[in-house]
Structure 1
C-alpha cells in the first residue's frame, strides 16, 4: 500500500515500525506461531497465563489489564455518546492525549480529502458509517467535540489546518452540520454556505417522528410511534435495550392499539443493540427478596407477550440489529417476519447465568425443527434425535450467530426472511413488509410439536455423563443441561407424543424458576453482573 499511494500525506502509516519488523524476524506471527502481540503459556504451577509483548525489548512480560478512571467518568457523563466523547477529548493525561491525537489526525485527513474524493462532507461521513460501520463519520465527530475547540489542539499537536477549514471559521461557520426547522443542512465548501441535505424516503428516523408528534404511547422503557400508512413501531429505550416490565407493558399496549387502529406492527430501534435480553439485575433483586410469585408472573407475562405478538390479528415484523440475545432473540423469533440487519448477533445465551430460555425460545426452535416433517413419518418410526440434539447443542452451549446468515442456520431466523444490508433503510423496509403482509394476512394456526419423551432424556443423560467424565463440563453444567433436556423431551411422555406450545412454555417457566432457586445459579448471575462474563462453577 505504501508504494500504491505516493502522493498521500499519510502514506508513512503503511511503513511497518521497527518493532514489527523484529517481530516478523523472530517468528512472532500471531496464532500460527502461538505468539504475536500476546502469548499464552503456563506458569510454574501449571496455571495458564497470558503474556504481552514489550515492544521496546521484543520480550514477553506479565501484565495487568490497564484501568483508566477517565473512561469510567466518561460513561457516567450525562448526555449520551456526544457528551462522553467530548469529556474524553478534553481530559488531561494519557487518555486525553490519545483521544486528541487520534481524532485530530482523522479530522485532518478527512478534511484533505475534499474535493479529492467528494465535494460534500456528508458523503464522506456516510461512506465511513455504511462501509466501515462507524457510529459517526469524521465530520460528525468533529462537530461533536466542537470545531472551534479543536483549533488550539491542532496547534498543540503541530498540525496545520487546511485552508478550507480556516476560511470556514473566519466566515463565522462553526460547524459542518446545522439543524433547522425544515431539515438538516451541511456546509458546502464550494459555495461557502449551508445547503439542505435531501431527505431519503427510505431513511426512517424515530427521533424525528417523535419530535413531530408521532408518539402514540410512551413509558420510561419504550415508546409506540406512528410510522405512517397504518403501521406502528415499538422502540425500546432501556439501558442496552434490556427487557423489563416497561418494555413488556408497551408491547402489550401496542398489540391492543394495533388490533383496533393499525394495519401492522414493527418492533425496531436505532440502538447499537436491538436487545441484550432480560434485565438481569431486576431478576436478581426479585430472587434475593424471595418473591417467587412475582418472578413467576414476570416470566409468564413475557411468555404471554411473545405469544401475543405471534398470534396478533395483524402482521408483526421484528427488525433486530447488533446484539439480539436471550429475550431479545425470543422477541425476534415470535414475529411473523424477522428482517435482521446483516450484522446481527443472535443467540439464546441464558445457560451462561445458570438458567434456560423461558420466553419461548426453546419452544420456537422445536417448532421450526419439526414443522417440515411430513404427516405420518413420525408414527412410522422417524428418529427425531438429530432434530433435537442440534437444538440442545445450540442452547446448551450458548451458541451465538455472528451474522443474520448464520442466525438462519441456527434456526433463530426463518429461511424465507430477507436480510437488511443497509441498516439506515431497515425500519423503512420492515414497514413495507408489514404493509405487504397486511393485504392478505391470516394469523398462524397454533401447531402441536412431536417430542421424544423419556427416550430423549435417557440419550442425553449418557451424553452428559461422558462430557462430565471427560471434564468438559462441571457438575452444575450437567444439572442445568438436564433441565433443558426435560423441556426438549416434552416432559414425562412416550416418544411420538404431540404436545402444545403452552405445555412447553410451562416447562420452560418451571425450569427457569427451579434454577433461580439454586445458589450456584445466583452466583453466576452475581458474577455476570459484576464482571460481564460467565462464571464456571
Structure 2
C-alpha cells in the first residue's frame, strides 16, 4: 500500500528540484494502484509515543524507542526524522511548491487517493484521474484532521465558489465532507464533491492515464504562469458557532462520540479561519498554521492515538 512517509515527502521535494532546474513540468504518479492511501500512520503514532510531536525525543523517549526496536520486529523510525510538527511544516511547504512553483504539476491518479494522497492532488495544477478512483479526506477516522493543506484548500475552494456571496453555505458543504470522512467512489463524484475541478480530466481506461497526463503537461508548460496566492474569505467565529451548535445536536442525540465532536470542532475552527469575524479575508499561511496546531493538539490525546493504533492493527476505524 503506497503511503505518504517522510521519505516520500522528501522525494517529492527532490523531484520538484529536478523538474524546476531541468524540465518543464512534473507528473506525480504511481506505476501501480493505489495512488496514495494517506500518511504513514506508523511514523506518526510512534513519534507521538516517543515524545517527538513538537520537539526531538528526550532521554526517556530515546530509551523507549531503543527498547521497542530491540525487542520487537516493528520497523525502525529514521534517526534523523524530525518531530511531527516539523514534518507537517515540510509537507505543507512541498505541497505549496506543487501549487505555486515555477513548473506545472500534474497528478496522475489511479485507484485510492485518501488523506494525504488527496491533499497532494488538491495542490497540483491538473489532475488526470481514472474513472474508478476513490478520493477523500478521511483523517477524522484516525482521530486527526487534514494537515497537509487539505482544510486550507477546501476553504479556498469554498471562497472561490462563493463568488462574493455569503461564504457559510459553501464552506459547510466541504466541512461536512471532511467531518464525515465522505469518499468519492468515482472521479465523477469527486468533481461533484469539489475534490476535482472542471478542468481536471477523467480517463475511462487506466492504461491511458500517463499518456493523458503527458499531454496535459505539455499543454500547460507552453504558457505556464504559477497561480497567485489569493486571500481566502472565511466564515469566522460566527460560522464556527453555527457548526458547533449542529454538532452538539448530533452529540446529544448519540449520533457521534465525544471525540468525534471534539475533532469536528477543530476541523471547523481551521476551515472558518479561527478567531476572526465572519467574512474576514485570511492568508493561506494562517490556515496552514491552524492545521498544524490543531493536528498536534489531537495527536496528544489518548483517544486519537488509540484510533491510529486500532487502524494499524485491524485495518478499520475505532469509534471511541
Task: Report deviation, 1:257.
Answer: 1.2
Q: Distance in 2 between matches of 1:503 and 1:303?
A: 12
Listed one character per residue, the Cα deviations across residues 71-115 of structure 1 (whole Å, up to 9, x for unaligned) are xxxxxxxxxxxxxxxxxxxxxxxxxxxxxxxxxxxxxxxxxxxxx
Task: Report deviation, 1:442.
Answer: 0.4
Paired position in structure 2 for 1:310: 99
Aligned residues: 292
Paired position in structure 1 for 2:122: 333
Written as runs of structure 1 = structure 2, the 5 A alignment for 1:125-164 is none
SS in 1 for 2:103: coil
Q: Is the 8 A contact 1:350 1:398 kept in 2?
A: yes
Q: Is 1:488 aligned with 2:249? A: no
Q: Distance in 1 between matches of 2:117 and 2:235?
A: 28
SS in 2 for 1:486: helix
Paired position in structure 2 for 1:264: 25
Written as runs of structure 1 = structure 2, the 5 A alignment for 1:447-458 is 447-458=230-241
Q: Distance in 2 between matches of 1:527 and 1:425?
A: 37
Paired position in structure 2 for 1:469: 252
Q: Distance in 2 between matches of 1:367 and 1:495?
A: 15
Paired position in structure 1 for 2:74: none
Q: Distance in 1 between matches of 2:235 and 2:302?
A: 31
Q: Is the 8 A contact 2:159 2:234 kept in 1?
A: no
Task: Report deviation, 1:429.
Answer: 1.1
Which of the pair has more CA radius of gyration? 1
Written as runs of structure 1 = structure 2, the 5 A alignment for 1:180-259 is 240-259=1-20
More strand by share: 1
Q: Distance in 2 between matches of 1:478 and 1:256?
A: 41
TM-score by length of 2: 0.89
Q: Given the alignment, which residue of 121, 140, 144 partners 1:351?
A: 140
Larger relative contact order (CA 8 Å, sep ≥ 6)? 2
Unpaired segments ≥5 residues, structure 1 = 1-239
TM-score by length of 1: 0.54
Task: Report deviation, 1:372.
Answer: 4.0
Task: Report deviation, 1:446.
Answer: 0.5
Listed one character per residue, the Cα deviations across residues 302-337 of structure 1 (whole Å, up to 9, x for unaligned) are 111100111110110101111100000010111000
Q: Is 1:363 aligned with 2:146? A: no
CA RMSD, 1 decimal? 1.0
Q: How has the CA–CA distance of structure 1 residues 372 and 463 changed in structure 2, closer, same or farther, with 3 Å as cutoff?
A: closer
Q: Which runs of 4+ in 1 moved over 3 A?
A: none
Paired position in structure 2 for 1:390: 173
Paired position in structure 2 for 1:291: 52
Listed one character per residue, the Cα deviations across residues 113-147 of structure 1 (whole Å, up to 9, x for unaligned) are xxxxxxxxxxxxxxxxxxxxxxxxxxxxxxxxxxx
Listed one character per residue, the Cα deviations across residues 186-211 of structure 1 (whole Å, up to 9, x for unaligned) are xxxxxxxxxxxxxxxxxxxxxxxxxx
Paired position in structure 1 for 2:200: 417
Q: Is the 8 A contact 1:241 1:271 kept in 2?
A: no
Paired position in structure 1 for 2:282: 499
Q: Distance in 2 between matches of 1:320 and 1:510?
A: 30
SS in 1 for 2:229: coil
Q: Distance in 2 between matches of 1:510 and 1:417?
A: 31
Q: Distance in 1 between matches of 2:162 and 2:311?
A: 39
Q: Is the 8 A contact 1:317 1:337 kept in 2?
A: yes
